[in-house]
Amino acid sequence: MSDSAIAVTNTHYLDFLQALEQAGFTGEVSPDKATRLSLATDNSIYQVMPQGAVFPKHEADLLCLFKLAGEQRFQTIQFAPRGGGTGTNGQSLNSGLVVDCSRHMRDIIELNIEQGYVRVQPGIIRDQLNDALRPHGFFFAPTLSTSNRATLGGMCSTDACGQGSRIYGRTSNHVLGMQIILADGEQFQCQPMDADELDNIIAQGGRSADLYQQIAHLVQTKAALIAEVFPKLNRFMTGYNLAHVEKDDKFNLGALICGSEGTLAMVSELTLKLTPMPKHKQLLALRYDSFDAALRDANRLVELDPDAIETIDDTIIGLAKGDLIWHRVGDFLGGEQADQVKAVNLVEFSSMQEPSLIDKVDAVCADLDASEQSLSIGYFRTAKADEIASLWELRKKGVGLLGNAKGKRRPIPFVEDTAVPP
């Protein structure tokens, strides 16, 4: 990054930060170079130097921040909410002011097992939330390879999903409601509502009513165009999520906020759906003599209705042999014959009832053993939690292993999860 890009913070931003402290903001205000440099990068290839960062301690700080920003003198100030900075597309980078809730706003506000929801602050990390839910037999279902550092606010803003998304869907499918703050400091609750509830909110007037009315008018008058333009994919992360604002006879403004990458509003609180944890799991690690064979076999594997299918190529497998993870998974991926393995498909099944799960996976294995059309050259089956966790850890370590590859050449991730509608 050039010296000019690391120049001192713009005086207008310094004036704003000074006014913010005087207005009663209790969190940290950081225009220093060290903080700006650390927040100029995320998990992408991009670098964008922000003017500074603020670390709110609670919701009142967020209200203070955006009410001040709503004043005429500060309306040119730009903001970028930041979660764990784990995205590979630069979603959290901005040349304005970073709003980082991960330092302080990471609490569970309410856990209601009986009604099946949990209220959280946006800075809580996904795995930490699930650690708290696990003793109760529930979990927040959407996951990522970076789930041990991705925040729920960030997952909401990118409508994130990963392993298991074909069963559980995206983050937006598990958001029951959210508290948002607009750029002028107005705050209101977003949650699915029927037509009568929507009409009542619009009748009350005010900024939030105007927004509801405008969005409702947009999705209703442009319904045909939206249906034509938006691809029919379970995992769709590009553009505002207009296709799901009206769904199942409900109007849900929160569906638009999910995936908007912080460009529409600041999320100050999330109400999330609890999902019962499957009591039993089994994993198959299918081995192939080519990456192409693994990809072609995925079509058949999907028909078996697994929770998840993930493909690992020979580059990752080769790099894993020099990592500690290989001591735990090497025998599962061919052992001494691992050099013949050019790709692996991890296929996971789960159920609340163990007998039905065993019968299902038995049938899959019988088909693999008997079928002459099978593209795999072998497989490993396990129901042991530690072995399943180790194999999924190999998948999660993929980007890190690529980044540590020896030699001058380095893989550069900048386009992810591309797909063509089937």
pLDDT tens sequence across 145-158: 888 999 999 999 99
* Rounded-to-10 torsion of CA 170, 171, 177, 180: -120
User: Same structural domain for residues 24 and 147?
Assistant: no
Instruction: Return the percentage of the chain with pLDDT > 90, whole number.
Output: 73
Instruction: Specify which of 106-120, 198-212, 316-330, 352-366 reaches the highest per-range mean pLDDT.
Output: 106-120
Residue pair 131/277 in contact by the 8 Å Cβ criterion: no
H/E element, 97: strand 97-100
- Evaluate whether residue 410 is within a structural domain: no
Whether the pLDDT of residue 349 is over 90: the answer is: yes
Residue 8 pLDDT: 60
Residue 166 pLDDT: 84
The pLDDT tens digits for 280-337 are 999 999 999 999 999 999 888 988 899 999 999 999 999 999 999 999 999 999 887 8
Q: What is the per-residue DSSP string for 346-367?
A: EEEEEESSHHHHHHHHHHHHHH
Whether the pLDDT of residue 237 is over 90: the answer is: no
User: How far is 60 from 243, CA to CA, in rounded Å?
Assistant: 33
The pLDDT tens digits for 109-162 are 999 999 999 999 999 999 999 999 999 999 999 988 888 999 999 999 999 988
Phi, psi (degrees; rounded to nearest 5) at 309: -135, 125
User: Same structural domain for residues 127 and 48?
Assistant: no
Which CATH number goes with the domain that contains 293?
A: 3.30.70.2190
User: Same structural domain for residues 272 and 300?
Assistant: no
User: Same structural domain for residues 150 and 260?
Assistant: yes
Which structural domain, as residue segments, surrounds residue 302?
280-403
User: Same structural domain for residues 271 and 289?
Assistant: no
Q: Which two tokens stand for residue 243?
A: 């296709």
Which CATH number goes with the domain that contains 198?
A: 3.30.465.10
Q: Which two tokens stand for residue 315?
A: 């580059």
User: How far is 352 from 311, CA to CA, in rounded Å?
Assistant: 26
User: Same structural domain for residues 118 and 256?
Assistant: yes
Cα 242 from chain centroid (whole Å) = 19
- Evaluate whether residue 161 is within a structural domain: yes
Which CATH number goes with the domain that contains 71?
A: 3.30.43.10
User: How far is 160 from 30, CA to CA, in rounded Å?
Assistant: 29
User: How far is 103 from 44, CA to CA, in rounded Å?
Assistant: 21
Residues 202-228, mean pLDDT to the nearest whole number: 93
Instruction: Return the percentage of the chain with pLDDT > 70, whole number.
Output: 94
Residues 6 or more apart from 343 whose CB is under 8 A from it? Answer: 287, 288, 290, 291, 293, 294, 295, 311, 312, 313, 314, 317
User: How far is 244 from 258, CA to CA, in rounded Å?
Assistant: 10
User: How far is 2 from 224, CA to CA, in rounded Å?
Assistant: 48
* pTM: predicted TM-score of the whole model, two decimal places: 0.88
User: Same structural domain for residues 24 and 171?
Assistant: no
Whether the pLDDT of residue 45 is over 90: the answer is: no
User: Same structural domain for residues 270 and 286?
Assistant: no
For the chain, give the mean pLDDT: 91
Whether the pLDDT of residue 370 is over 70: the answer is: yes
- Evaluate whether residue 137 is within a structural domain: yes
- Residue ending a domain, among 100, 133, 165, is 100
How many C-beta atoms lie closer than 10 Å to residue 343's C-beta? Answer: 23
Q: How confident is the model at residue 5 (pLDDT cuts 50, 70, 90)?
A: low
Residue 415 pLDDT: 67
Whether the pLDDT of residue 184 is over 60: the answer is: yes
Place of tokens 């799960």: 357
The pLDDT tens digits for 405-422 are 787 777 776 666 666 666
Residue pair 84/75 in contact by the 8 Å Cβ criterion: no
Residue pair 79/93 in contact by the 8 Å Cβ criterion: no
Residue pair 271/176 in contact by the 8 Å Cβ criterion: yes
Residue 268 pLDDT: 97
State how many domains the chain has.
3
The pLDDT tens digits for 241-288 are 999 999 889 999 999 999 999 999 999 999 999 999 999 999 999 999
- Residue ending a domain, among 230, 250, 276, is 276
User: Same structural domain for residues 265 and 144?
Assistant: yes
- Evaluate whether residue 414 is within a structural domain: no
Q: What is the per-residue DSSP string for 292-357?
A: HHHHHHHHHHHTT--SEEEEEEHHHHHHHTTSTTHHHHGGGGTGGGGGG--EEEEEEEEESSHHHH
Residues 11-39, mean pLDDT to the nearest whole number: 96
Residue-level length of the chain:
422
Whether the pLDDT of residue 3 is over 60: the answer is: no
